[in-house]
Amino acid sequence: DTEVTQTPKHLVMGMTNKKSLKCEQHMGHRAMYWYKQKAKKPPELMFVYSYEKLSINESVPSRFSPECPNSSLLNLHLHALQPEDSALYLCASSHSGMGNYEQYFGPGTRLTVT
Amino acid sequence: SQQGEEDPQALSIQEGENATMNCSYKTSINNLQWYRQNSGRGLVHLILIRSNEREKHSGRLRVTLDTSKKSSSLLITASRAADTASYFCATDGSGGANSKLTFGKGITLSVRP
């Protein structure tokens, strides 16, 4: 199984809402990533979990809160977002946290903040 | 900071023609990767080439790497309409255990049937 799944596919939320994005992989990968992608731009790294520990936080605002409950699951908790946070949020996984391995991406969650 | 820079920004070709996309980067790397993204979807890994490799093939894809010029090219031969997508190069920056991928701005490829 070489699939990374993400739910939901689409999410519309108000600025006062709290919601969560979910990501799952069953490839035995020990590194998982959250990226944010705006239209016609490359993905921007937000967080890296390596062996279930947060190893990289790219100075992401605290209204984004990642969580890695186990080696297969990755969540991104959202609270008090701004309209400029509207984007495609991509989850990815790889064999380890090093850049030496290809990353497998999920289909993304299209987030709209109203 | 963005590492890879693709060229051209957009490419439009006829089905059956070859498509060549270039990527330049600034610092030393351990490897360079190419990814494809269909509109609004997740990225798909195409090929990884290590810094000690000069050329790699995968099906209709051919990737070259010139570390002296800090550049790579992706050649798609006999293109198909289904190859229409955005293509990104990504470099790892030769960091340590936490080296991350940094993506270039991307190239939009349109293959006309």
Q: Do A99 and B92 touch (CB under 8 A)?
A: yes
pLDDT, position B96: 53
Name the average pLDDT for chain A.
93
Looking up tokens 């100075």, which residue turns up? Answer: A59
> Is the pLDDT score of B6 beyond 90?
no
Name the average pLDDT for chain B.
90
> Is the pLDDT score of B50 beyond 70?
yes
- Report phi then psi at B27, rounded to 5: -115, 175
Measured distance CA(B69)–CA(A89) in Å, rounded: 34
> Is the pLDDT score of A97 beyond 90?
no
pLDDT, position B68: 95
pLDDT, position B2: 47
Which residues are bridge partners to B86 per DSSP? Answer: B37, B108
pLDDT, position B1: 43
Task: Answer for the pair A37, A18: CB distance below 8 angstroms, yes or no.
Answer: no
pLDDT, position B89: 96
Rounded to whole angstroms, what are the CA distances from B70 to A72, B21, B48?
Answer: 36, 14, 15
Tokens encoding B53: 């490799």
What's the per-residue H, E or C state across chain B? CCCCEEECCEEEEECCCCEEEEEECCCCCCEEEEEEECCCCCEEEEEEEECCCCEEEECCEEEEEECCCCEEEEEECCCCHHHCEEEEEEECCCCCCCCCCEECCCEEEEEEC
Task: Decide if B1 touches A, using CB distance below 8 A.
Answer: no
What integer is the mean pLDDT of B55-68?
97
Instruction: Return the residue in B37, B101, B103, B110 with the most chain A beta carbons within 10 A, the one to mutate for interface testing.
Output: B101
Rounded to whole angstroms, what are the CA distances from A37 to A13, A90, B42, B58?
Answer: 18, 7, 10, 27
Residue type, A35: Y
pLDDT, position B3: 63
Using a CB-CB cut-off of 8 Å, the residues of chain B touching A6 are 42
> Is the pLDDT score of B95 beyond 80?
no
Q: Do B101 and A99 touch (CB under 8 A)?
A: yes
A to B CB pairs, distance under 8 Å: 69
pLDDT, position A61: 95
What integer is the mean pLDDT of A62-66?
97
What integer is the mean pLDDT of B94-113?
82
Tokens encoding B58: 């995968």
What percent of chain B shows pLDDT beyond 90? 75
* Least confident stretch, A26-30, B5-9, B106-110: B5-9
Tokens encoding A103: 């990353």
> Is the pLDDT score of A84 beyond 90?
yes
pLDDT, position B45: 96
> Is the pLDDT score of A49 beyond 80?
yes
pLDDT, position B7: 77
